[in-house]
């Protein structure tokens, strides 16, 4: 077993997290050594060689120069993986070069349509591109970011927009499929060095870093988080936040603001891989904290229904044949089962405390109950007002009758 390097950033997902193995397993393409040479993924290997040829035609240097570059960085590349890779030097360099250039060409072909042709059996299939996108977000399917960045710099490929930026290409690939995970912040960190970005999954996580990283430094024995339904019954209102960062959940003046998030069949995979990477590599825990919060807020189908009604959630998943809102609640409960929380720095601690204080206030509950029971529709409100007027008229009539006696 080789000692872990400071550069180690790509791991196998721990067994205790693998409740849904499909969430961590590539569907169509293997990148890197962990799923290398799997028979069910062999079909894409042929395309890797074709994309290598396409890359060399665009490049200003030859294949030998790229082989030399990867070879010179072999030790650094091996150190990025949390296991001792048993491939010999030749096979390791070949694998890294093919996989890195395949990723680069996918990024280039997606951003520049003129690089695609009718014979391309990858980019001409939208479903295949969609699966490749999410294969590139699997923790076990990562390749060090520096090799992508350095290869594109060595190639000196320039399109009509000028110098190519890997960050910009990654942004273009992910922005259309799931906007909340590929926000404009990617463009703001384009000057980050490859040392700061470990791989594509790390980049996506960095782009969702909360606007304020709170460190409460206060131990809590148990997290008591009311559900969306309980909050609604206590008079809390819900609003879709303008923030594109899904972790920026705020509570102000009785209004819980949650960024819009779309949930589909890939949501679980993305969250699980971010969770696994965070547990293996990161000092902060905001992905895990978000999962814990959502698992409590979204406790059942009614909770999801309220989020959908308020324009916060777009639901497009099915779980074991279940269509609808219960599937979303199941999703968050399942991901939260092996979640790890640090009680002294739970990111949403202040938010939870504020929600609980609000829910315990009798006035808020009374006002909410009155509104939901008697003023939930315009006609209900009119009926109540009419009944009050009728009661007042009856009282007045009774008083007048008594005065006449």
b/e map of 269-285 (b: 16 or more CB within 10 Å)? bbbbbbbbbbbbbeebb
Structure tokens at 295: 């698992």
Residue 80 near residue 8 (C-beta atoms within 8 A): yes
Residue 159 has phi, psi (to 5 degrees) of -95, -170
Q: Nearest to residue 106, comparing CAs of 63, 164, 163, 169?
A: 169
Residue 41 near residue 26 (C-beta atoms within 8 A): yes
pLDDT in tens, the chain (405 residues): 556 678 999 999 999 999 899 999 999 999 999 999 899 999 999 999 999 999 999 998 999 999 999 999 999 999 999 999 999 999 999 999 999 999 999 999 998 888 888 888 888 888 899 999 999 999 999 999 999 999 999 998 887 666 788 888 998 888 766 555 555 666 565 555 556 899 999 998 988 887 776 555 566 666 789 999 999 999 999 999 988 788 999 999 999 999 988 888 889 999 999 999 999 998 889 999 999 999 999 999 999 999 999 999 988 776 554 567 899 999 999 999 999 887 778 899 999 999 999 998 744 454 445 454 555 556 555 665 665 676 676 767 776 777 765
Cα–Cα distance, 397 to 403 (Å, whole number): 10
Say what the pTM is.
0.86
- Give the helix, strand, coil percentages of the chain, each rounded to 5: 55, 5, 35
Angle separating helix axes 325-336 and 301-309, nearest 10 degrees: 120
Quick count: other Cβ atoms within 10 Å of Cβ 85? 19
Sign of CA dihedral 41, 46, 49, 55: negative
Residue 223, classed as helix, strand or coil, is: coil
Per-residue DSSP letter, 284: -
Cα–Cα distance, 198 to 97 (Å, whole number): 17
Cα–Cα distance, 271 to 405 (Å, whole number): 78
Ramachandran bin of 275, using left for φ above 0, alpha for ψ from -120 to 50, beta for the remaining angles: alpha
């Amino acid at each position: 077993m080789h000692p872990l390097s400071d550069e180690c950033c790509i791991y196998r997902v721990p067994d205790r997290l693998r409740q849904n193995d499909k969430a961590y397993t590539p569907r169509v393409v293997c990148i890197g050594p962990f799923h290398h040479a799997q028979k069910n993924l062999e079909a894409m290997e042929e395309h890797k060689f074709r994309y290598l040829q396409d890359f060399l035609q665009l490049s200003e240097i030859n294949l030998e120069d790229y082989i030399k570059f990867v070879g010179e960085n072999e030790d650094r590349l091996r150190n990025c993986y949390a296991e001792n890779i048993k491939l010999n030097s030749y096979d390791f360099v070949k694998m890294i070069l093919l996989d890195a250039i395949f990723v680069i060409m996918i990024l280039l072909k997606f951003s520049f349509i003129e690089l695609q042709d009718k014979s391309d059996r990858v980019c001409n299939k939208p479903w295949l591109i969609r699966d490749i996108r999410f294969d590139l977000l699997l923790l076990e399917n990562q390749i060090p970011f520096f090799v992508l960045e350095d290869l594109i710099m060595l190639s000196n490929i320039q399109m009509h927009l000028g110098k190519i930026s890997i960050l910009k290409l990654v942004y273009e690939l992910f922005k259309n499929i799931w906007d909340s995970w590929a926000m404009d912040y990617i463009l703001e960190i384009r000057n980050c060095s490859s040392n700061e970005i470990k791989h594509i999954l790390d980049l996506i996580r960095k782009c969702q870093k909360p606007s304020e990283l709170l460190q409460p430094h206060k131990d809590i024995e148990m997290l008591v988080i009311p559900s969306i339904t309980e909050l609604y019954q206590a008079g809390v209102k819900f609003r879709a936040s303008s923030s594109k960062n899904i972790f920026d959940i705020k509570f102000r003046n009785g209004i819980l603001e949650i960024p819009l998030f779309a949930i589909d069949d890939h949501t679980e995979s993305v969250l699980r891989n971010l969770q696994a990477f965070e547990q293996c590599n990161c000092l902060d825990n905001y992905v895990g904290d978000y999962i814990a919060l959502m698992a409590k807020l979204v406790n059942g189908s009614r909770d999801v229904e309220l989020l959908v009604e308020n324009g916060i959630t777009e639901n497009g998943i099915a779980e074991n044949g279940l269509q609808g809102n219960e599937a979303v609640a199941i999703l968050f409960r399942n991901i939260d089962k092996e979640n790890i929380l640090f009680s002294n720095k739970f990111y949403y601690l202040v938010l939870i405390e504020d929600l609980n204080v609000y829910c315990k206030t009798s006035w808020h509950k009374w006002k909410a109950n009155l509104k939901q029971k008697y003023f939930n529709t315009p006609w209900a409100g009119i009926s109540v007002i009419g009944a009050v007027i009728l009661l007042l008229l009856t009282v007045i009539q009774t008083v007048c009758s008594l005065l006449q006696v």
